[in-house]
Amino acid sequence: MVYKYKKEEAKKYRQSEKGKAAIKRYQQSDVGKENIKRYQQSDVGKAAIKRYQQSDVGKANIKRYRENNKEKIRLIHEKWRKNNKKVVMDHYGNKCSCCDETELKFLTIDHINDDGAKHRRKIGRKLTGQDFYRWIIVNKFPKNLQILCFNCNCGRASNDGVCPHKDKT
């Protein structure tokens, strides 16, 4: 009976302004952040997060957060996309394997043996752009890929698999 009383008292404290302020200070402290992160990465924490996200309250809060933070979310996704491309390009050498172009905006991934369509059929889905970069990272950077600039990649596509740079002879 004593335990139930303390539990109710603690709940009232957490809901009071003083209790909310104390919780916020803890969550913003280094120790609090580390404990929260550790909990969220645990199996128990992941299960709790999933239950919350699937609940009606969680769905409503997520929807409201997304509506109120569109620009913030867009910037986070943009940073994430650029980082994935950079990670992939760093792994494969950061330059076109044909003409040595290094401008990241011009570089793309190419299947070395011109078997991209066959590869997409094999894995059962069409991977392009950001999804392809993520797939490469998850699958530990397959060896059948290379970096080409868009010019060399398009040139190979329209010249029977041979880049016009190499066809000059």
pLDDT 10s digits, 26-58: 999 999 999 999 999 999 999 999 999 999 999
From the list 129, 126, 30, the residue with the least C-alpha distance to 88 is: 129
Long-range pairs for 94-97: beta carbons < 8 A, 24 or more residues apart: 94/147, 95/147, 96/147, 96/148, 96/149, 96/152, 97/146, 97/147, 97/148
Tell me the whole-structure pTM to 2 decimals. 0.62
What integer pLDDT is reported at residue 150 of this predicted model?
92
pLDDT of residue 5: 61
Calpha distance 133→89 (Å, rounded): 9
pLDDT of residue 1: 45
**Local structure of 108: helix, strand or coil:** strand
Ranges of the chain with pLDDT below 70: 1-5, 167-169
